[in-house]
Amino acid sequence: MLLTALKMLIGDRAKFLSIVLGLSFASFIISQQSAILVGIVKRTFGFITDTSQANIWVMDPTVQYIGDIKALKDTDLYRVRTIDGVDWAMPLYYGTIQARLRNGIFQTCILIGIDDGTFIGAPPIMLKGTLEDLRIDGGVIVDQVGAASKLSTYSPEYGKVPLRVGDEMELNDNRAVVVGICSVSRTSQSQPVLYTTYDRATTFVPAQRKLLSFIIAHSKPGYDPEQVCRQITSVTGFAAYTSRELDWLTLGYYIKYTGIFVNFGVAIVLGFIIGTAIAGQTLYNFTLDNLPYFGIFKAMGANNKLLTKMVMLQALFASAIGWGIGMGATALFGIFSSGTELSFTMPLWLYFASAFSILLISTCTAFICVRRVVNVDPAIVFKS
């Protein structure tokens, strides 16, 4: 009987294709928009993720997110180092600067200054050059995407020429030479990223009384990082967060003060509603058209439990195919969008979330159809 239910569904090709296409569209919209949203979320705290050596971030107590820079005094670094439970603490500069390229064009860049001695805070992956090359006078490391796009120059002979190791630029009228190319997480600002030493970064930027953007630290073995953060706050009055807490602080700021999440949330909900409307209406009409056959099955001795299984099998079979097509289209979209400005991240849990959404659509629709099937009267079917 279950095999007969599948033959009934596939036999009506027009309605079967309509159901599958509706579920495919819903699966694609839900997964694709969710993947872009996840990509945007990761970009908001990409810099925190890259600075993986530290598990404690110390900053001004009024800082609202990672890009909200309110500098500390250089002497504040030593206050943090004296806190019990702090294994080490290093300075970190984070800000923006205007870079003047060889062709005279100015480009705003993110400038990151890391500790001169230990290079803690350095980029996670070096593609060309080494961190030790930062000791070269004026040395900076440039992220791969920025070097190939916004920091590239145009040559009539060669066309677009990426920034390469050995090239020079001006940072606030100071000579800087590219000593390495790195790979970093994309940020929400999508600006080129430059790494240099902390002391050099403070000479590149205009002179100010306070230039210490963050103090990055690590707890001693056996100490709870959250407890160490509370100790730092109570002694110094600064805000201290674990890397995880700073991730959530930054994410909370973007949720509260930007419309990104609302906009993508509306698109995901609309995909769910449209998929439910298209697939649900078509499956319901299919069930109505086949009520006489279900009535015959009932007259032949099929109980309500068996009829329920038949309808549920039809809905789950169509939803499985629709989900597979939708996820395939999403995967192709992700492949074609790689290397572009579009943020797209498809973690494993998103596959299960998408499958659950499509399962919910088909189950709700099948429940409505089951009510019509179990209430059908075989006598009325034969009388008509």
Tens of pLDDT, residue by residue over 172-219, are 889 999 999 999 988 776 789 999 999 999 999 988 889 999 999 999
In this structure, the number of other CB atoms found within 10 A of the CB of residue 193 comes to 26
CA terminus-to-terminus distance, the chain: 24
In whole angstroms, give the CA distance from residue 87 to residue 228: 10
**Sign of CA pseudo-dihedral 19, 20, 25, 31:** positive
**In the numeric block, which tokens belong to residue 354?**
């998408």
Dihedral angle over CA of 313, 314, 318, 324, nearest 10: 10
User: What pLDDT is recorded for position 234?
Assistant: 94
User: What pLDDT is recorded for position 340?
Assistant: 67
User: What pLDDT is recorded for position 276?
Assistant: 72
DSSP-derived secondary structure letter, 316 = H
User: What pLDDT is recorded for position 165?
Assistant: 93
User: What pLDDT is recorded for position 379?
Assistant: 61
Taking Cα atoms as reference points, which of 121, 98, 97, 101 lies closest to residue 111? 97
pTM listed for this prediction: 0.79
**Cβ-based neighbours of 369, under 8 Å, separated by 6 or more:** 283, 284, 287, 311, 315
**In the numeric block, which tokens belong to residue 325?**
């097509």
DSSP secondary structure string for all residues of 214-226: EEEEEEPTTS-HH
In whole angstroms, give the CA distance from residue 380 to residue 384: 6
User: What pLDDT is recorded for position 171?
Assistant: 93
Question: In which residue ranges of the chain is pLDDT below 50?
Answer: none
User: What pLDDT is recorded for position 383?
Assistant: 57
The amino acid present at 213, given as its one-letter code, is: S
User: What pLDDT is recorded for position 381?
Assistant: 57
